[in-house]
Amino acid sequence: MDDATSASTVQVEFKGERREYFVNARGLPLEVGDYVIVQVERGRDVGRIVRLGESLDRMAKAKPVTQEVLRKASAEDLVRYEEIKHKEDAASRVCEDKIRERELKMKLVDVEYQLDASKITFFFTADERVDFRDLVKDLASIYKTRIELRQIGVRDEAKRLGGYGSCGRKFCCTTFLQEFEPVTLKMARDQSLQVSPTKISGACGRLMCCLAYERDYYMEVARQLPKIGSKVMTPYGPAVVTKIDIFAQAVTVDDESGNEMRLSLDQIRKLGLGERLVKPARARKGGQAETREEPPEETPNDEPASGGEARPDEPGEPEGSRD
Residues 85 and 19 reside in one and the same domain: no
Q: What's the pLDDT band for 96 if we cut at 50, 70, 90?
A: very high
- In this structure, are residues 162 and 190 in contact, taking their beta carbons and an 8 Å threshold? no
Last residue in a domain, options 50, 73, 96: 73
H-helix or E-strand spanning residue 139:
helix 133-143
- ∠ Cα 241 243 244 (to 5°): 105
Q: What is the pLDDT of residue 34?
A: 94
Do 104 and 137 reside in the same domain of the chain? Answer: yes
Q: Does residue 23 sit in the same domain as residue 43? A: yes
* Domain annotation covers residue 19: yes
Higher pLDDT, 62 or 203: 203
Is residue 51 domain-shared with residue 84, that is, in the same domain?
A: no
Lowest average pLDDT, out of 210-219, 255-264, 293-302, goes to 293-302
Residue 6 has pLDDT above 80, yes or no: no
Domain boundary among 73, 93, 117: 73
For the ranges 74-83, 146-155, 261-270, 299-308, the lowest mean pLDDT is seen at 299-308
Higher pLDDT, 308 or 165: 165
Q: Does one domain contain both 261 and 244?
A: yes
The number of domains in the chain is: 3
Look at residue 33 and tell me if it is in a domain. yes
pLDDT at 143 over 90: yes
Q: Is the pLDDT of residue 129 over 50?
A: yes
243: domain CATH number?
Answer: 2.30.30.140
pLDDT tens figures, 7-59: 588 989 887 677 888 989 888 999 999 999 998 776 788 999 988 888 787 77
Paired with 112 in beta bridges are: 121
State yes or no: pLDDT of 93 exceeds 50: yes
Which range has the worst mean pLDDT, 45-59, 153-167, 205-219, 278-292? 278-292
Instruction: Tell me the mean pLDDT in the region 228-238.
Output: 80
Domain span holding position 112? 79-156+305-317
Length of the chain: 323
43 domain residue, yes or no: yes
**For residue 299, what pLDDT is reported?**
46
Q: What is the mean pLDDT of residues 211-229?
A: 85
Q: Are 223 and 246 in contact (CB under 8 A)?
A: no
The confidence band for 308, taking pLDDT boundaries of 50, 70 and 90, is low
Q: What is the pLDDT of residue 7?
A: 55
Contact partners, residue 71, CB within 8 Å, separation at least 6: 26, 28, 36, 37
- Checking if the pLDDT of 279 tops 70, the result is no
Cα–chain center distance at 27:
32
- In the chain, beta strands by DSSP E: 9-13, 19-23, 35-40, 43-52, 69-72, 107-113, 119-125, 146-151, 230-234, 237-245, 250-255, 260-264, 279-280, 306-310, 320-322
Residue 138 or 267, more confident: 138
Q: Do the strands 279-280 and 306-310 form a parallel or antiparallel pair, or are they unpaired? A: unpaired
Are residues 84 and 64 both part of a single domain?
no
- For residue 194, being part of any structural domain is answered with no
Average pLDDT of every residue of the chain: 79
Amino acid making up residue 83? E
Residue 136 maps to a domain: yes
